[in-house]
Chain A
């Protein structure tokens, strides 16, 4: 069956319908205007819930049955337990045993620990995944093995889709490190602490049914609650919701690679010489080794100059916590904790504030935290000559990563991508990105070990580093340099079939991923 496609505002051929539902092609940054009201889940009544507030049921299976689990439902989970998650897979194991088919799994992200769901995709329990797909899951989708079409959204786009009713969650299964019998829940405490539960907040508010799964049931009230009990239908107590050492890294580490450190150094020098780094600066840096090194170098500059960052936006790590504790950062607003120091800090430091993604990233809301950030350090698998970025596929065409908060963060004032010019033999700067995830107009600076390219749209930044001695080059020059070393890569071959759609932050379709041509 031929699928009707159209060329969207980014010049990409995208379908008008995905999984039997109409979709809107990307119209340009800030161009799509949503209409109508927000989605609202069914109205509950207290008369259906126990007066004593005790919503504990004996097992996850019982909870799923009571929620009316049936074919075709959408099941959401969150990824705060990261690679230590023991709950998501269990849901589909039970569903498969119950003979339920064609579910839609709507995780906030997936990890290698979720690879076992491949067997529930194979046996028809799951029709499709709408969320990130890494490693083997991505390979599975790229090879066209998933029945439905995958939909990838940013963290903010996921909240937008929930709020706008693009995705109606039938059952949210929310793992909680600590909860009470009423369903109030938080990310700290117990043996499976993950710090915060920000990604699960929208699920709890908009899902028709909500199940909280915990291995640390405490007396009411579980405080401060991130998930509020009045949204919760059932509470399930299990032995273990996660494997602690895989939930957070014991400790995150800055990169040891001399080339990555060089990139981090160059980035920091750029931030300093361009004047972006200043007293009161607001910033976000992820948990990647290069970003962490930048955070360490930036911290040193703040310290030397007696400056202070007004606030930093997490994913938090021990390096950000160190800034907070040593007085170079006023607050950490946090959507997820990457290591044990970050978890400890959230528990103990009143200036380290859990901050739901809901408030930070959602594009269909009355303001957006990311556009208030001065410095945004991000990565990419590819960047093209128009500064467009790709984070979901590799140059060989395989889907290998989720979008995470990447698209949302592009709205920051200065979006800087410190990336190696080539990985092994694979050049990072290409003529045209394999998959478009972020429009080039939002990407300001590319920093590689062999030079810095500033987006011509940012004349102010170009002027700010004139005569600074920094190795400024055009993207074309950098691309030529890489290809001189690596050779010019051939293009991966695709079939016509669309295996995944990439949503922009406003719910429109910015690009699609096609099936890899089988050898």
Chain B
């Protein structure tokens, strides 16, 4: 016999901003809604009318809907109910909440990706204010942070979140699952202005290409022209060995990241704070990314309580050549951002070098000197890079040279 009862969503004493919906299809009696909600006095009527509207949309005429609500926003309720409906009936319809106009932005290839905040794809409470913490990117995760039996409902929640939540200019990213499921995931997110797809446990250039092809198919079918960048995550020995090929596999790949939990597991060694066991992989990844002209991004730091250790980790990461790392808590964002930005001494030194270079150029001198010390061209180039970096971050004015008082000599 065909299943007539479906459950979707979450409830429990610690659950917030979510709901659990039990949908039971009936043969008669119309729609009966049994609502238990902590916000019933304020939103009871609006929740009930939303449920009726969605059931009508899917052509469900007779059903008992039990909803245990802990303050879920409408797009969450909608995702939960749609998921329950789709467990019971076959339909090509999608109940799409409004795509808010603030979410229409695109991003550029070489924007900063210092910090990108992971959000579990089936936990709405963590998503709503995520954009307020100024991460460079927000990752709605469909992979490891979602329990296997919740993978389907997470897709709808993430889809609705992409339409409804304003992430305040952060790059809108989704981490898809591995393999076939990952390719299917794309159908739920690509039409809703995703800026970047993270490809987990990536081991080959071919897989990146298959993701790219799938995206192209979806875009052609729906006549979309939004740019979707790719960030493969290297999490295995094979991935590390193939990292250069992966990095240059497509023009849409803008960065590669390393995931050290899985990588160290693959090697069969414990992951240490010092990170000696992953030094080769990390430097290999940096070199591969640089060779391919894309950004190398470091693994997440998992102790969210230890900001000092995080800071040290960021400094090491920066010294190895990485340009960013993942975050699993909003409080890590400012530490990471500050860590990757050029520090004061660095900037001062670079300013002097660039100034000396400009002066030499003006005087038609072939050699740049500071005091009695000769400055090699690569040193000038690095200093110029630091200055450009500082200007882009807003740490330095674009006409900083003009702001320096002219010395007579």
Q: Does A395 contact B (CB under 8 A)?
A: yes
The answer for the CA separation of A486 and B74 in the assembled complex, in Å, is 8
**Quick check: B44 and A424 within 8 Å, CB to CB?**
no
- Which candidate, B127-135, B169-177, B203-211, B356-364, is the interface stretch facing chain A? B127-135
**A395 CA / B132 CA spacing, docked (Å):** 25
Q: List, in ascending order, chain A residues with CB within 8 A of B330's CB.
A: 258, 262
Question: Considering the chains assembled together, what is the distance between the CA atoms of A335 and B133 in angstroms?
Answer: 36
Can you list 16 A-B pairs with a CB-CB distance of less than 8 A? A258-B329, A258-B330, A259-B132, A396-B42, A424-B39, A425-B17, A425-B42, A425-B43, A425-B71, A485-B73, A485-B128, A486-B73, A487-B43, A489-B39, A490-B41, A490-B44
How close is B65's CB to chain A, nearest CB, in angstroms? 18
- Bound together, the chains give a CA A318 to CA B16 distance in angstroms of 30
> What bracket does the count of chain B residues touching chain A fall in?
20 to 34
A473 to chain B minimum Cβ distance, whole angstroms, is 14
Q: Which of B42, B45, B128: most chain A Cβ within 10 A?
A: B42
Q: Which residues of B contact A395 (CB under 8 A)?
A: 41-42
Q: Specify which chain B residues have a CB less than 8 angstroms from the CB of A450 in the assembled complex.
A: 132
CA distance A258 to B134 in the complex (A): 12
A261: interface (CB < 8 Å): yes
A397 at the interface (CB under 8 A from B): yes
Q: Which 9 A-B pairs have the closest CB atoms?
A: A424-B71, A396-B41, A489-B42, A258-B330, A425-B71, A259-B129, A492-B41, A425-B39, A449-B132
Q: Output the least CB separation between A163 and chain B (Å).
A: 39
- B73's partner among A259, A425, A489 (CB-CB below 8 A) is A425
Question: Which A positions have Cβ atoms within 8 angstroms of B?
Answer: 258-259, 261-262, 395-397, 423-426, 449-450, 485-487, 489-490, 492
Interface string of B39-68 (1 = CB under 8 A from A): 111111110000000000000000000000
Report the Cα distance A40→B329, complex, angstroms.
59
Closest CB of chain A to B195's CB: distance in Å?
A: 22
Asked whether B44 lies within 8 Å of A426 as measured between CB atoms, the reply is no
Query: Which residues of the partner chain B approach A490 to less than 8 Å between Cβ atoms?
Result: 41-46
- B278 CB → nearest A CB, Å: 28
Residues of B within 8 A of A261 (CB): 331
Q: How far is the CB of B208 from chain A (nearest CB, A)?
A: 33
Interface residues of chain A: helix, strand, loop or mixed (majority): loop
Contacts of A426 in B (CB 8 A): 39, 42, 71
Q: When the two chains form the complex, which single residue of A396, A397, A487 contacts B74, counting CB atoms closer than 8 Å?
A: A487
In the assembled complex, the Cα of A258 lies from the Cα of B39 at a distance in Å of: 23
A424-B17, A424-B38, A485-B73 known; A262 vs B44 contact (CB < 8 Å) = no
Q: Which residues of A contact B39 (CB under 8 A)?
A: 396, 424-426, 489
Q: How far is the CA of A450 from the CA of B130 in the complex (A)?
A: 12
Question: Least Cβ distance of A328 to chain B in Å?
Answer: 22
B-chain residues with CB within 8 Å of residue A262 when the two chains form the complex: 129, 132-133, 330
Q: Give the Cβ gap from A111 to chain B, nearest Cβ, in Å.
A: 21
Assembly CA distance A486 to B124 (angstroms):
13
- CB contacts (< 8 Å) of B74 on chain A: these are 487
Question: CB-CB < 8 A to B129: which residues of A?
Answer: 258-259, 262, 449
Given the complex, which residues of A lie within 8 Å of B17, measured CB to CB?
A: 424-425
How many whole Å from A335's CB to the nearest CB in chain B?
Answer: 33
Bound Cα distance from A229 to B207, whole angstroms: 84
Residues of chain B within 8 A (CB-CB) of A397 are 41
Which residues of chain A are within 8 angstroms of B236 by Cβ–Cβ distance? none
Docked complex Cα distance between A219 and B330 (Å): 56
In the docked arrangement, what's the CA distance between A259 and B331, Å? 10
In Å, the complex CA distance between A485 and B133 comes to: 17
CA distance A449 to B168 in the complex (A): 13
Contact indicator B132/A492 (Cβ below 8 Å): no
A424 and B70 in contact (CB under 8 A), knowing A258-B329, A261-B331?
A: yes
A425 touches B72 (CB 8 A): yes
**Seed contacts A487-B46, A490-B45; 5 additional CB < 8 Å A-B pairs:** A424-B38, A424-B39, A425-B39, A489-B42, A490-B41
Mask for B15-40, Cβ within 8 A of A = 1, else 0? Answer: 01100000000000000000000111
Most B CB within 10 A of own CB, among A258, A261, A397, A449? A258
* CA–CA, A492 and B39, complex, Å: 11
Docked-complex contact A489 and B43, CB < 8 angstroms: yes
Query: Which chain A residue shows the least CB distance to B125?
Result: A424
Could you tell me the distance between the alpha carbons of A487 and B69 in the complex, rounded to whole angstroms? 15
List of B residues within 8 angstroms of A425 by Cβ = 17, 39, 42-43, 71-73
Interface residues in B69-120 by Cβ distance below 8 A to A read 70-74
A-contacting residues, B326-342, CB 8 Å: 329-331
List the B residue with the shortest CB-CB distance to A396.
B41
Interchain CA distance A231-B118 in the complex, whole Å:
63
Alpha-carbon separation in the docked complex, A487 to B70 (Å): 15
| CB proximity of A409 to chain B, nearest CB, Å | 28
Map CB proximity to A onto B126-145 as digits: 1 under 8 Å, 0 otherwise: 00110011000000000000
* A397 nearest in chain B by CB position: B41
A492 to B43, CA, bound (A): 10
A492–B41 alpha-carbon span in the complex (Å)? 6
Closest to A492 in B: B41
Bound form: Cα–Cα A485–B102 in Å: 13
In the complex the two chains form, what is the Cα distance from A430 to B52 in whole Å? 27
Within the assembled complex, what's the spacing in Å between the Cα atoms of A262 and B131?
A: 12
- Residues of chain B with a CB closer than 8 A to A258's CB: 129, 133, 329-331
Q: Which residue of A lies closest to B44 (CB)?
A: A490
- Complex Cα spacing A396 to B331, Å: 33
What's the minimum C-beta distance from A382 to chain B, rounded to whole angstroms?
11
